[in-house]
Chains A and B, each alone.
Chain A
Amino acid sequence: ETGVTQTPRHLVMGMTNKKSLKCEQHLGHNAMYWYKQSAKKPLELMFVYNFKEQTENNSVPSRFSPECPNSSHLFLHLHTLQPEDSALYLCASSLMTSGGFSSYNEQFFGPGTRLTVL
């Protein structure tokens, strides 16, 4: 496997279910991201992990719970979701280097998980 992989690619769940999305990167990166992509809206950054530490949570409801056990794996645990949470969830990774703003590196995206909440 190369690049960024996400499983499952499609998920249908009821509002009372608990499920998890998985992301794995094979690029040697040290930062990982969860984004939400809804129709007709810009991509929304949800969480950022640098070196396995969560460094950003953009006011995401607690029914979304991220987990980063190591720098290659990222999970998004889902419970008691609402129909408006139906969207494409994208994972990305990048190589964060020291040096601040000038050291920006490209984010590599996975294919996403299409989530439908009934």
Chain B
Amino acid sequence: AQSVTQLGSHVSVSEGALVLLRCNYSSSVPPYLFWYVQYPNQGLQLLLKYTTGATLVKGINGFEAEFKKSETSFHLTKPSAHMSDAAEYFCAVSSLSNFGNEKLTFGTGTRLTIIP
């Protein structure tokens, strides 16, 4: 079965500092991996995804993530944090459910706070 672990339920960084949100996964098949962001009172929005090919994936708003198979990791980074990055971030892995549907398994989320 697939699972996702996000280390750190809360992360605080100063404006302009590096953002690093950690995600480790377990999967019995080559995984598809995703990062979603949720702003207050909104639904989830896709930041980026890894399916196949290049292991460094660039997403919206200056975020990127690197798929490292040997470490079973898919950490999210941004070189310079902006106040507008304050939100909750979810890592997810896709798989086939018992019913044959492609489904997402989510981590518990990391709340990112930006310090002015």
Listed in ascending order, the chain A residues whose CB lies under 8 Å from chain B are 4, 6, 9, 40-43, 45, 48, 50, 55-56, 90, 92, 96, 101, 103-104, 106-112
Stretch in B45-53, B60-68, B78-86 with 4+ CB within 8 Å of A:
B45-53
Contact B104 A45 (CB under 8 A): yes
Alpha-carbon distance A110/B41, docked complex (angstroms): 10
Alpha-carbon distance A92/B101, docked complex (angstroms): 14
Given contacts A6-B43, A111-B41, 15 further A-B contacts (CB under 8 A): A4-B43, A9-B41, A41-B108, A42-B105, A42-B106, A42-B107, A48-B101, A48-B103, A55-B101, A56-B101, A96-B102, A104-B32, A111-B42, A111-B43, A112-B42
Interface size class of B (residues with CB under 8 A): 20 to 34
Closest to B91 in A: A42
**Interface set, chain B 95-116, CB cutoff 8 A to A:** 96-97, 99-109
Listed in ascending order, the chain B residues whose CB lies under 8 Å from chain A are 4, 9, 29, 32, 36, 41-46, 49, 51, 90, 94, 96-97, 99-109
